[in-house]
Amino acid sequence: MKATELLKSANKEETALLEKLEPTRFPQHLAIIMDGNGRWAQRRHLPRIAGHRAGVKAAREIIETSARLKLSMLTLYAFSLENWRRPQAEIDFLMRLLREYLKKELPTIHKNNIRLLVIGRSEQLPEAVRRDIEEAMRFTAQNTGMKLVVALNYGGRAELVDAFNAILDRVRRDGLSGFQADEQTISQHLYTAGLPDPDLLIRTSGEMRVSNFLLWQIAYAEIYVTETLWPDFSRARLFEALLDYQKRERRYGGLGSSGGNSSGSGQRAAARHA
């Protein structure tokens, strides 16, 4: 199957990029730090909220395209623990926008066989948002296509703190005095337990930071930073990021396929790209 067959409605620029992509080597899990909504609006002398509206439009297109490309998982950083420091009016608008998005897009999400999951301290979100999220997750729970993970009220350090406390609780409850944790123990207590780590992390708007996003999970992720502001992150920009990813050799600390004895994690890389 060629990448161009996955997306029938592509324009000329998109088709040219799609032709260069190898569908068997797409990242399984793509994670995105969507940044630059405010700057996008500022450049147009519009209020910041106009940038967020345009950001939702971009998110909608990237979600649908990722599902068509048959990625297994897409994680979007929608609201961080640090975002509470913004003006209350902007926070309220972002929460309203999310509810509006869920209400409007849920039928399409469902039709595209996408399963919605939310990670973060959702218990601290406004009651109405929590209710809508729970309903959307229930509604799509049986879907078997792409998993769309929305990070909401999310912080990577907070996730680790929550994981450590959950482990401590278990140790105390079960009286496991000699218990030793390993990497698997920690992975299994993260919000993302049972889900694969990101293969590719995209950050828009040129900032060279990970901003407390999936700190544990991005250990071996390829990172792609683009100057494009999130509202301008179109399908063509996504294909460019995927093309860049496909040119890289993932080595997981080993020597890769070009030399040396590829054992352990190197084999994992080779197996994933087989």
Residues with active-site annotation: 35, 83
Q: Give the nearest distance from C-beta 75 to ligand FPP in angstroms.
A: 10
SS3 sequence, the chain?
Answer: CCHHHHCCCCCHHHHHHHHHCCHHHCCCEEEEECCCHHHHHHHCCCCHHHHHHHHHHHHHHHHHHHHHCCCCEEEEEEEEHHHHHCCHHHHHHHHHHHHHHHHHHHHHHHHCCCEEEEECCHHHCCHHHHHHHHHHHHHCCCCCCCEEEEEEEECHHHHHHHHHHHHHHHHHHCCCCCCCCCHHHHHHCCCCCCCCCCCEEEECCCCCCCCCCCCCCCCCCEEEECCCCHHHCCHHHHHHHHHHHHHCCCCCCCCCCCCCCCCCHHHHHHHHHC
Q: Which of 3, 10, 32, 35: binder of ligand FPP (CB under 6 A)?
A: 35
Determine the interface stretch with ligand FPP among 37-45, 135-143, 194-202, 246-254 (rule: CB under 6 A).
Answer: 37-45
Q: Is 250 in the site for ligand FPP (CB under 6 A)?
A: no
Q: Give the nearest distance from C-beta 98 to ligand FPP in angstroms.
A: 6
Q: Which of 10, 21, 29, 36: binder of ligand FPP (CB under 6 A)?
A: 36
| Interacting residues with ligand FPP between 193 and 232 (CB under 6 A) | none
Cβ proximity to ligand FPP, 7 vs 97, nearer residue: 97
Q: Give the nearest distance from C-beta 262 to ligand FPP in angstroms.
A: 38
Q: Is 101 in the site for ligand FPP (CB under 6 A)?
A: yes
Q: Which residues bind ligand FPP (CB under 6 A)?
A: 34-39, 52, 55-56, 59, 76, 78, 83, 94, 97, 101, 150
